[in-house]
Amino acid sequence: MATEALGQAQRLANGDAAPPAGQSLRAWIGLGANLGDRGAAMAQALQQLAGSAGVAVQAVSSLYSSRPVDSSGPDYLNAVAELRTSLSAQQLLHLLQQLELAAGRERPYRNAPRTLDLDVLLYADIDTSIAMPDLQVPHPRMWQRAFVLAPLQELAPAWVSEAQLQPLLPQGVQRSQGPDWWR
């Protein structure tokens, strides 16, 4: 039994293993946009996720506005969503990337302004680590971004303390709408 659990943990850490048949795991994704109708693009992505095979939207944080970090352009809208998924972390990433492309996402340079940005922040739980060329979990910069930690704190308060969030507040993140903004 312990060997089976260790094997499953190693497969999850590879990012390419889905949960066992008939089971699902929790995953948290970050949503953001700073071009076009930002809120509509994010709401549409959540609705598309909710209608995707192997994905159920469990909870969505409030909507936050923030200045760009390490970038330029208009202010962002950001949120975090908790999902249940039977997809592997890699499959979830590919689904998110398809939704970004459908929303007109372009990648002309690193941290370019975007119509939609979807990131896998956490997969399975806070202790699961995945290191693949195109996917790292936990998201490598999430602990440095108030626009990720403030909405994540709403959904998983035990994982984000005020002490972690306070030093990041000068980044200029502000709650702009409650959690029903996407419906």
Please say if 119 is a catalytic residue: yes
| C-beta of residue 172 within 8 angstroms of C-beta of residue 178 | no
168 Cβ contact list (under 8 Å, min separation 6): 144, 145, 146, 149
Please say if 114 is a catalytic residue: yes
CA 93 from centre of chain: 10
CA 99 from centre of chain: 13
Give the active site residue among 38, 67, 117, 145. Answer: 117
Instruction: Return the closest-CA partner of residue 34 out of 62, 81, 61, 67.
Output: 67
Give the orientation angle of helix 89-102 with respect to helix 38-50, to 10 degrees.
Answer: 140
Please say if 145 is a catalytic residue: no
> Alpha helices of the chain — where are they, by DSSP H?
2-14, 38-50, 89-102, 146-155, 162-165
Q: How far apart are CA 64 and CA 165, in angstroms?
A: 14
Give the active site residue among 119, 141, 180, 183. Answer: 119
| C-beta of residue 181 within 8 angstroms of C-beta of residue 59 | no
Give the active site residue among 38, 67, 105, 145. Answer: 105
Give the active site residue among 38, 67, 114, 145. Answer: 114
The residues annotated as belonging to the active site are 105, 114, 117, 119
